[in-house]
Amino acid sequence: MIQGNSSSRDGFSTKFGVIAAAAGSAIGLGNIWRFPYVLGQNGGGAFLLIYLVFIAAIGIPVMMSEFTIGRSAQLNPVGAFKKIAPGKKWHLIGSLGVVTAFIILAFYTVVAGWTLEYMLQSVRWLLFPESSGVAGLTGDASREFFQEHYESFTNGIWRPVIWFLVMLFFTGFIVVSGVKRGIEKYAKILMPVLLILLLVLVFRSVTLEGAKEGLVFLFKPDFSQIKDAPVKVILEALGQAFFSLSIGMGTLITYGSYIQKKENLANTAVSVAAADTFIAVIAGLAIFPAVFAFGINPGEGPELVYITLPVIFQNMAGGLIWALMFFLLLCFAAITSTISVLEVIVAYLTEQLKLTRKRAVFLSAVSVAVLGLICTVSSDVFAVFNASPDILLPFGGFFIVVFIGWFFSKNSLKKELSSNGARKIGYYPVFLFLVRFVAPLAIVFLFAIGVYNKIINVFPSMG
């Protein structure tokens, strides 16, 4: 276990635990729920190609930077910046990360609660197919049935609120248990099982009649699909890369503070990014062939997964059993992400405000509950919170790479990346170039274009 300033500080016990927990933070609804519908709305293969470029050129360097800050200080995001840059204002970036964690956790837990609804309904569809209305459904009838269920559920109040609170309770329960006995323990079990189940869905989806069109949409870049709004697509690809990898909000600074000094930060970052990207593509393979096979609009929006996957299950042998298993595992995948975001807030409260872990979890959960309940009952607030990662996460990531590239001690940077000189870091010049120039300039350039386009839309004469 990692030993920081205090010998009692919790931490990850194994390398696999580090990767599973960090990947669990990254792999979740961001990949299986958000990635497919954002890709579907933004040109398919063209969006995927842009997304992959951002993962490699910006995502991995930012992730390594966060790991470096966290492990160097062995503190939460606010405490880490205060320790590394005392007397400076860099700790405000850590504070931004904590605030961003609150916002993201509020809307994310709402969506995570939807998985509980679908898990319960899967039991109902399995045990009582006649009375529930799923018996004998095929094709368009199946799609319409699940679309009506989705709209009925999300437009309601009580069931979404109840599931949101239940998901928040489970998240708090795991975080109270700590890093090694809570976060690491559950992540090491749940993530491999989710992968196996996704691969089964991919096999069924790609063997459907008409699936080829979905594969073409996913893997063949057609930039004519994004010509009407290229800036929007590029910014959403950047935001999705940050959201999917859980970077820019302090999660990986917090997790980095629990990583043992002997671990290879570069290998860990690449492993997490590779696992995250693989799962995102696998999710696309499970969804888009079925989307085209059943005539579903790929730009459906946030409801895409919750309509498409039940249709696939309905057209599989033993499909409702697979539906139950899938939504159970999707629920767990969502939890591995919600616990990582909650841990950012809890680490701040325990280390900066000296609260006990139980009190910190309780206070955090109550605060998130207030925001989440507003998000649950207001579609406008939900839309704003859902769009927030595209702005807040790259903004935080920009200052993180600027700090690492220009203000963090180069000796300390080499020490962390080389595990105190135990391994070679031949990639160091490339990494430094990326965090000094490529990542910050790309983020600034893209945001400048985005702001300019919004100004032009409001004041056309300025164009």
Residue 5: predicted pLDDT:
41
Q: Note the helical H segments in 378-421.
A: 379-387, 389-402, 410-417
Residue 452: predicted pLDDT:
63
The Cα diameter of the chain in Å comes to 68
Query: Residue 397 and residue 381: Cα distance in Å, rounded?
Result: 24
Q: Note the helical H segments in 155-264.
A: 158-176, 185-206, 212-219, 230-245, 251-256
Q: Which two tokens stand for residue 238?
A: 């950047």
**Angle of CA points 325, 37, 161, to nearest 5°:** 60
Q: What pLDDT digit, counting tens, does each position of 219-264 carry? A: 999 888 888 878 888 888 888 888 888 888 888 898 888 888 888 9
pLDDT band at 333 (very low <50, low <70, confident <90, very high): confident
Residue 271: predicted pLDDT:
86
Top mean pLDDT of 305-314, 335-344, 410-419 is at 410-419
Residue 60: predicted pLDDT:
94
CA neighbor of 304 nearest in space, from 328, 283, 320: 283
Query: Residue 77 and residue 249: Cα distance in Å, rounded?
Result: 9
Q: Which residues touch 431 (CB under 8 Å, ≥6 apart)?
A: 61, 64, 266, 417
Q: How many helices (H) and strands (E) does the chain have?
A: 23, 0
**Cβ-contact 2, 179 below 8 angstroms:** no
**422 secondary structure, DSSP code:** T
Report if pTM > 0.75: yes
Q: Which two tokens stand for residue 212?
A: 């080829």
Q: What is the dihedral of CA 288, 240, 156, 114, to 10 degrees?
A: 70
Examine residue 143 and state whether it is found in any structural domain, yes or no.
yes
Q: What is the percentage of the chain residues whose pLDDT exceeds 70?
A: 87
Residue 4: predicted pLDDT:
39
**Cβ-contact 52, 64 below 8 angstroms:** no
Examine residue 35 and state whether it is found in any structural domain, yes or no.
yes
CA neighbor of 117 nearest in space, from 152, 142, 141: 152
CA neighbor of 300 nearest in space, from 158, 146, 105, 136: 146
The structure tokens 């696999």 sit at 16
pLDDT at 9 over 70: no
**Angle of CA points 150, 197, 330, to nearest 5°:** 40
Q: What pLDDT digit, counting tens, does each position of 454-463 carry? A: 565 554 544 4
pLDDT at 285 over 60: yes
**Residues shown for the chain:** 463
Q: Half-sphere exposure of 447 toward its Cβ, with a 13 Å CA cutoff?
A: 16
CA neighbor of 211 nearest in space, from 295, 135, 317: 295
Examine residue 3 and state whether it is found in any structural domain, yes or no.
no
Terminal CA-to-CA distance of the chain, rounded, Å? 58
Q: What pLDDT digit, counting tens, does each position of 147-162 carry? A: 888 888 888 889 999 9
Helix-helix angle 357-377:379-387, to 10 degrees: 120
Total domain count, the chain: 1
Higher-pLDDT residue of 247, 314:
247
**Cβ-contact 341, 335 below 8 angstroms:** no
Residue 170: predicted pLDDT:
87
The structure tokens 């951002």 sit at 54
pLDDT at 428 over 70: yes
Examine residue 320 and state whether it is found in any structural domain, yes or no.
yes
Examine residue 1 and state whether it is found in any structural domain, yes or no.
no
Average pLDDT, the chain: 83
Q: What pLDDT digit, counting tens, does each position of 34-89 carry? A: 889 889 988 899 999 999 999 999 999 999 999 999 999 999 999 999 999 999 99
**Cβ-contact 427, 266 below 8 angstroms:** yes
Q: What pLDDT digit, counting tens, does each position of 117-155 carry? A: 988 988 888 888 888 888 777 767 777 888 888 888 888
Residue 16: predicted pLDDT:
57
Task: Residue 267: give its domain's CATH number.
Answer: 1.10.4160
Examine residue 7 and state whether it is found in any structural domain, yes or no.
no
Residue 370 neighbours by CB distance under 10 Å: 11
Window from 120-129, 271-280, 443-452 with minimum mean pLDDT: 443-452
Range of the structural domain that residue 235 is part of: 15-462
pLDDT at 329 over 80: no
